[in-house]
């Protein structure tokens, strides 16, 4: 009998353990490496809904927030949903409109930095201001959300490297070179080209940002601007909230020629959840809605009620297509195929859009995306890289470059003289 028992025991020991489900793989990855999200527009919501007055704002429940128009509208982000989404680090976007004259944009950006810092300070048990990769590591280890500041658009510096340096001193750790419009030194993805990329001053902006240790963000910029920035950069760049243009041909997404260069640069594309950047059907629907709105405004130029009635009827006849988690994963698949697993992150753009994809409508939806990726064969190590390890590597590399160049003199330009 002993001869039978021993071989059986050996077989049992050699048998593989029960395979983990995709949900279990995702949960293990997110426990080990919480999400580091590249772009969230809560500060914009505080400005548009509350004029930056946060007395009475409860970040524990934003499901009935004022919409700034006399009603209420649910936000995508609050502390419980961030916890459910396993978000451990967040770039809060201190965005202001590209329609503002640049001196006004500078002031408004300072106001947005201020309100974001005030929000972080109100929740010291859950949020911690982070200025360095070490700060992020410490906050995450303590179970807090490491809170970094990202500027969205070079219009915020009013063409001044001095202002750029002061924004960095105040805590801004990335700057998106443009937003929706061209500026005097860089072309946007969503405007007719004016400079064929970056001007000489624009290239100096990139150089000065990297000397400081500020991440160069290429979301929103034209392909020529991307290429010029990569030619100029000596440290990794980021795309804080973009996708793969080969999968969804929106100009806000990253073309393959740029993705292929990320291997040499060391940079990262933080995959966006914005439906029009994820779903071609949603992008086409949005274009049709915009065209129909203009048509109705032409037909009823002095009758806004009639325009509203007709647009409502159009929407009923043409339901909005929903982006899906699978479509987000398709873009991540493509970025991995072209750039590699080391060059993928996440930048949802929550509270900067109407809704996220079905199943990822708000910040709580990240575990569902990770489960989908696990179903596609991504390992726990792969998922940890996407969640936050890739972004940590990028920030550490930017800091190392800045440390190596700490004795380089600031790039100087003469200021305009008054009178």
The pLDDT tens digits for 120-176 are 999 999 999 999 999 999 999 999 999 999 999 999 999 999 999 999 999 999 999
pLDDT of 295 over the 60 cut: yes
Q: Which residues contact 134 (CB under 8 A, 6 or more apart)?
A: none
- The confidence score (pLDDT) of residue 69 equals 86
Q: Which two tokens stand for residue 161?
A: 């490297």
User: In the prediction, which pLDDT does 19 show?
Assistant: 82
- Strand duo 238-242 + 268-271: pairing: parallel
Contact 358, 323 (CB under 8 A): yes
What pLDDT shows up at residue 418? 60
What pLDDT does residue 16 have? 53
**Cβ-count burial 200-221 (b if 16+ within 10 Å, e if not):** eebbbbbbbbbbbbbbbbbbbb
Cα–Cα distance measured from residue 355 to residue 372, given in angstroms and rounded to the nearest whole number: 19
Q: What integer pLDDT is reported at residue 419 of this predicted model?
A: 54
Distance (Å, whole) CA 188 – CA 196: 10
Question: What is the distance between the alpha carbons of residues 314 and 294, in angstroms, rounded to a whole number?
Answer: 13
The pLDDT score that the predictor gives to residue 1 is 45
Asked if pLDDT for residue 8 goes beyond 70, the answer is no
* Active site amino acids: 39, 41, 152, 179, 220, 241, 349
- Mean pLDDT for 62-72 is 92
Residue 401's pLDDT is 98
Assess whether pLDDT exceeds 80 at residue 90: yes
β partners of residue 271: 242, 346
Residue the block writes with tokens 């996220």:
356
**Mean pLDDT score of the chain, rounded to an integer?**
95
Res 17 pLDDT > 90: no
What is the gyration radius of the CA atoms in the chain, in angstroms?
A: 23
For residues 58 and 65, what is the distance between their CA atoms, to the nearest angstrom? 9
What pLDDT does 154 receive?
A: 98
**What proportion of the chain, given as a percentage, has pLDDT over 70?**
95
pLDDT band at 13 (very low <50, low <70, confident <90, very high): low
Provide the percentage of residues in the chain whose pLDDT is more than 90: 94
Give mean pLDDT, residues 17-38.
Answer: 94
Pairing type for strands 127-129 and 87-93 reads: unpaired
Confirm if 361 and 76 have CB atoms less than 8 A apart: yes
Helix and strand counts by DSSP (H, E) for the chain: 18, 11
Report, as an integer, the average pLDDT of 102-116. 98
| Residue 2 binned pLDDT confidence (cut-offs 50, 70, 90) | very low
**Arithmetic mean of pLDDT, 2-9:** 50
């Amino acid at each position: 009998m002993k001869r039978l028992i021993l071989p059986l025991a050996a077989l049992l020991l050699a048998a593989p353990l029960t395979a983990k489900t995709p949900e279990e793989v995702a949960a293990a990855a997110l426990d080990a490496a919480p999400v580091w999200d590249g772009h969230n527009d809560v500060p914009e919501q505080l400005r548009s809904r509350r004029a930056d007055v946060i007395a009475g704002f409860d970040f524990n429940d934003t499901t009935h927030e004022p919409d700034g128009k006399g009603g209420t509208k649910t936000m995508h982000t609050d502390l419980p949903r961030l916890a459910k989404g396993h978000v451990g680090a967040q770039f809060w976007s201190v965005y202001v409109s590209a329609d503002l004259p640049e001196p006004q944009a500078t002031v408004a950006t300072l106001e947005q930095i201020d309100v974001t810092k005030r929000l972080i300070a109100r929740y010291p048990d859950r949020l911690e201001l982070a200025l360095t990769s070490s700060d992020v590591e410490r906050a995450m280890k303590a179970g807090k959300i490491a809170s970094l500041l990202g500027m969205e658009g070079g219009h915020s510096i009013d063409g001044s490297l001095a202002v750029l340096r002061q924004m960095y001193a105040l805590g801004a750790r990335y700057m998106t070179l443009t937003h929706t419009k061209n500026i005097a030194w860089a072309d946007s993805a969503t405007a007719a080209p004016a400079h064929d990329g970056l001007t000489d001053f624009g290239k100096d902006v990139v150089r000065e940002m990297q000397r400081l240790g500020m991440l160069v963000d290429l979301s929103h910029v034209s392909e020529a601007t991307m290429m010029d920035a990569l030619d100029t950069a000596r440290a990794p760049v980021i795309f804080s909230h973009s996708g793969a243009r080969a999968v969804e041909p929106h100009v806000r997404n990253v073309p393959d020629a740029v993705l292929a260069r990320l291997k040499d640069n060391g940079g990262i594309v933080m995959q966006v959840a914005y439906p029009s950047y994820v779903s071609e059907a949603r992008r086409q629907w949005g274009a049709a809605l915009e065209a129909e709105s203009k048509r109705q405004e032409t037909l009823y130029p002095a009758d806004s009620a009639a325009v509203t009635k007709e647009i409502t009827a159009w929407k009923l006849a043409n339901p909005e297509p929903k982006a899906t988690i699978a479509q987000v994963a398709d873009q991540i698949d493509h970025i991995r195929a072209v750039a590699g697993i080391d060059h993928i992150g996440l930048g949802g753009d929550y509270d900067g859009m109407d809704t996220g994809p079905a199943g990822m409508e708000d910040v709580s939806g990240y575990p569902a995306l990770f489960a989908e990726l696990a179903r596609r064969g991504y390992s726990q190590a792969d998922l940890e890289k996407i969640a936050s390890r890739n972004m940590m590597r990028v920030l550490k590399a930017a800091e190392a470059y800045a440390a190596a160049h700490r004795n380089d003199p600031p790039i100087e330009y003469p200021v305009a003289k008054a009178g």
